[in-house]
Every structure is written in C-alpha cells, then in structure tokens.
Amino acid sequence: MNRFCVKVLVLIALGGSLLPALLGAGSRQSSLGTKSAAPAQDLTALKSAGSREAPITIEVFSDYQCPQCRVFYLDTARQLMQTYIPAGKVYYVHRDFPLSMHSHSREAARWANAAAMAGVFQSTEETLYSKQDQWGSTGKIEDTLASALSPADMKKVRAIEATQGAQIDAAIARDMALGESRGVNGTPSIYVFHKGQMTPLPPGGVNYSLLKQYIDYLLQQR
C-alpha cells in the first residue's frame, strides 16, 4: 500500500464533517523542497513560535478581527503552543491577512507587528483575540493593549508603531501577497508543511482534536 493510500485511510479514520475537505487537501499537496529560513530580523520570525528545525511547520494566515480566527487561536493554536511547539515538533508561523470587511483588522495587525518588534508578540496576540469583541466594536486597540501590557512594554510598542510604520506595512503586504499567490481569500487559512510537502487544510480552521490526530500521523512517517 503506497504512502498516499495510507494517508487517505488515516484521514478517513479521523471522520467528522471535515473529511471531504481533508481528503481534498491531501490530493492538492505540492512539493516545496526544503523549508527556507527567514532572515534573523524578519518580522515573520518574530511572530513565529518554536524551532525552525521542527519536523512540521504550521503556517496560518489570520485576521485579528475575524471570529473564526479567534476560535482557532483560543481553542487550537494555544494548545499547540502548550504541547507540540515546546516539544520541538511543530514550528508555528503567523501570517497577517487583514480582510477589507473588518474595519480595524489592518490597524490591529500594525500593532501586533510593532509588539513583535518590541518582543511582546505572544501576549499581544493573546490580548487581541481574547478581547476581540472589545476593541472590534470600538476601534480602541491601543487602549485594549495598554490594559494588558506593562507600561514599559506599551511604551516600546507605541514608539515602534509610530516610527517603523513603513517596515510594518511592508511586512503585512508581503504576507498578503504570499497568501494571494496561494489563493487565500478567507481566514484562517492554514497550511501544513512536512517533508517538503505543503498541505492546505479546510477553510475556516480545524479543531485541536482533529489537528492533533493529523500531526501525530505525520510524525510517525519516516
């Protein structure tokens, strides 16, 4: 039985309403060769978690004002950050893809990038998603972050946001261009990289239990 057939059988065993999409994802795999390393000061690296040497990379195109992105982050990504990422099994990459339908999402992405440059990305990301309803309805992103970060950290973030706007905007534009080149038109859009193969997961995110089974299956491959 060849490797693809084995994978299909495993995906069938996962079951659930996501099965057809996952099967389709398997058939759309593309060969990427080795993973490219980001420059040391690349903002993408500052918004990523784990080791680049991990056998699996999960890349997520996300919008901070997107309700589905919030659910994926709170229910799935946070569990990955507690299990597979510290264990060196997954490298998690955040990509910005603010949608035009969300009036404050690009501004939120700017603040998140400034926070990454200040070294407080994870706490900022957590705040933006957990308090999405708060700043999403008022647009008061800065106030929301100020209530969660220390005064010293917030001072750094404000200074960077005010002075490094061109670099931040360029980073967001690069993420969006990469997403558009892959046909991303909604968030979260999730890609799994393993052994030189890129597999797009079903649109809208997957729950942790399903993703865990898929990761465990990939980790068993030689």
| CATH code of residue 187 | 3.40.30.10
Number of domains making up the chain: 1
**Contact between 148 and 127 (Cβ < 8 Å):** yes
201-220 confidence digits (pLDDT tens) = 988 889 999 999 999 999 99
Nearest residue to 216 (alpha-carbon basis) of 191, 183, 194, 185? 194
Q: Classify residue 24 by its DSSP letter.
A: H
pLDDT score for 29: 52
What is the span of the domain harbouring residue 204?
3-219
**pLDDT score of 205:** 85
Whole-angstrom distance, CA of residue 70 vs CA of residue 129: 5
Query: 193 in helix, strand or coil?
Result: strand
Q: Based on the number of CB atoms within 10 Å of its own CB, is 87 exposed (0-12), middle (13-18) or buried (19 or more)?
A: exposed
The amino acid at residue 19 is L
Mean pLDDT per block of 10 residues along the chain (222 residues) reads 38 41 47 37 89 97 97 96 96 96 96 97 97 96 97 97 95 96 95 95 90 96 76
pLDDT at 222: 66
